[in-house]
Amino acid sequence: MIRTLLATLAFAVTASAAQPPNIVFIFCDDLTTQAISCYGDKRKLLETPNMDRIAKEGMRFDRCLVTNSICGPSRAVIQTGKYSHANGFYNNSNSKFDSSQPTFPKVMQKSGYQMAVIGKWHLMTDPVGYDHWNVLPGQGAYYNPPMTENGKEVKYEGYTTDIIGDLTLKWMDQRDKTKPFMMMCQHKAPHREWEPPLRLLGFDNDRVYEEPETLFDSYSGRSKAVSDHDMGIDRTMTDRDVKLVIPGNLNEEQKKTWSAYYDPRNAKYREAVPAGRDLVKWRYQRYMHDYLACVKAVDENVGRVLEYLDKNDLAKNTVVMLSSDQGFFLGEHGWFDKRWIFEESLRTPLLVRWPGVIKPGTSTSRIVSLIDFASTFLDIAKCENLPDVHGRSIVPLMKDETPADWRKSLYYHYYEFPVPHRVRPHYGVITDRYKLIHYYKPDVDDWELLDREKDPLEVKDFSNDPAYADKVKELKAEILRLQAEVKETMPPPRFTHGNKPFDNEPQPPEQPKGKGAGKKKAGAKQE
């Protein structure tokens, strides 16, 4: 009897040791490192104990960079391990994900993993390669969201971040426990318009947040591409963004709670509406309250997932990864939103816990990227990599065995223009210290060189400084090398404005014509 029991136990131990690890991938939308306490932003905007726990028990990646800083394209990069020009998803305006191409979930599913994705998807075609999916349509709503569960419409009451948390735990509980699994828990938060959970309104006790040093960036000496933007706290933020207007989809009870917090504060604002710099300062404070409350709700739901793994004896054999589709500007350069190759939107959080593989409390400043995630997931799952991927597995970095030929530079290319934020298309190269950027169309042809060591705020262009002439030459050559490596068929720097557009160039959406053309509607469909 005892012998049988021991034999059974021994078998169970062997079986679990042989089982490839589960992966819980917590993916956020527009979550930036400045809002995660373990990244140590000097403003100390928010405490995120649960995200910090992943770093404390695992590894913090200090330079996880994106290749095209915008929602849908980043998601397509993750599915395929390829740059936008190769996976065909360039922008949020008119791209549709071609789900017939090779993707990592298809491979993992075939190898026996149960694959699930819950929350924001935003690839405009249905998920393929998943046993279970329950996703928000398009951008999704913050309150009482409709969702699509395996092709069927469903409706929920409550706050979307919490609902995604609930559905994540529910699926993990009901899954086939004989198989390894990958759960992609994909939050909508803290995307614009940063609508907080009602339970957290006023969580900060009307704290006055420190402003970033570049809140009033003059953009002097920079390309017109930088100054002529449409993503300023001063010129672009709408009444809906700053909660002077109530969101449309709250129920009566929710409206009461919402109004109890915002109405008295909005009345005070209307008594003496600030102007100029004071308006920017007021909006910045409101923005921080709302954005950070959204992040706090994500953090709480990260905590629920970690607790579930603990309680169900899953923590040991589950890799937990937390990341975001890009970073975000929290007032730096006077901006909200993303898109730019500048550090706040280029850099995205990446925290990974893998007990027994990653040494707790470690960090790395090696350049890794969302382009590496597909190869990484497949490596963890002991599956063959996808053909022709542009990224590579970061598992060796997790093991502190960085390959000698690990990348020293990364190629970047952003395309979406002119709507919604008038950020001109640009490509460039990023190294530990420098960035060389080319704004190439439609009305600019400007190069900029950033030196993060001399100018960590990224407010100066060194490209015309004779002392940097060799560096510019070297980095131009590096851009060409990287473009050849990933087979991007545009030919910069030979490409200049006025030349024929390159073959696979995405076309901007048609602009409205006639009266009121170009006018922005509050809460209009955007990024």
Q: Residue holding tokens 């995604």?
A: 164
Alpha carbon distance 267, 260 (integer Å): 12
DSSP string of 476-491, one letter each residue: HHHHHHHHHHTT----
Choose between 135 and 479: whose C-beta lies nearer to Ca ion: 135
Choose between 30 and 458: whose C-beta lies nearer to Ca ion: 30
Q: Is 29 in the site for Ca ion (CB under 5 A)?
A: yes
Name the closest residue to Ca ion (Cβ): 71
Residue 64 C-beta: closest distance to Ca ion, Å: 14
Q: Residue holding tokens 């960090």?
A: 363
Residue 103 C-beta: closest distance to Ca ion, Å: 19
Choose which of 52, 299, 325, 416 interacts with Ca ion (CB under 5 A): 325
Alpha carbon distance 33, 192 (integer Å): 17
Choose between 188 and 424: whose C-beta lies nearer to Ca ion: 188
Residue 325 C-beta: closest distance to Ca ion, Å: 4
Choose between 74 and 266: whose C-beta lies nearer to Ca ion: 74
Q: Is 193 in the site for Ca ion (CB under 5 A)?
A: no
Beta strands across the sheet bearing 446-451: 410-414, 426-430, 434-439, 446-451
Q: Is 30 in the site for Ca ion (CB under 5 A)?
A: yes
Angle at 491 between CA 488 and CA 494, to 5 degrees: 160
Region from 30-38, 251-259, 283-291, 315-323 binding Ca ion, contact rule CB under 5 A: 30-38
Q: Which two tokens mark 86?
A: 């190769």
Q: Is 344 in the site for Ca ion (CB under 5 A)?
A: no
Choose between 132 and 426: whose C-beta lies nearer to Ca ion: 426
Residue 191 C-beta: closest distance to Ca ion, Å: 6
Q: Which two tokens mark 51?
A: 């995200």
Q: Is 237 in the site for Ca ion (CB under 5 A)?
A: no
* Phi, psi for residue 309 in degrees, rounded to 5: -65, -40
b/e map 327-340, b = 16+ CB within 10 Å: bbbbbbbbbbbbbb
Q: Which two tokens mark 38?
A: 């373990």
Region from 11-19, 293-301, 321-329, 491-499 binding Ca ion, contact rule CB under 5 A: 321-329
Residue 338 C-beta: closest distance to Ca ion, Å: 6
Residue 13 C-beta: closest distance to Ca ion, Å: 42
Q: Is 71 in the site for Ca ion (CB under 5 A)?
A: yes
Alpha carbon distance 62, 83 (integer Å): 21
Residue 203, Cβ density class (10 Å: 0-12 exposed, 13-18 middle, ≥19 buried): middle
Residue 172 C-beta: closest distance to Ca ion, Å: 25
Choose between 34 and 409: whose C-beta lies nearer to Ca ion: 34
Q: Is 448 in the site for Ca ion (CB under 5 A)?
A: no
- # chain residues binding Ca ion, by CB under 5 A: 4
Residue 332 C-beta: closest distance to Ca ion, Å: 17
Q: Please name the residues in contact with 173: beta carbons below 8 A apart, sequence gap of 6 or more.
A: 312
Alpha carbon distance 77, 87 (integer Å): 7
Choose between 29 and 448: whose C-beta lies nearer to Ca ion: 29
Region from 119-127, 136-144, 175-183, 320-328 binding Ca ion, contact rule CB under 5 A: 320-328
Q: Which residues bind Ca ion (CB under 5 A)?
A: 29-30, 71, 325
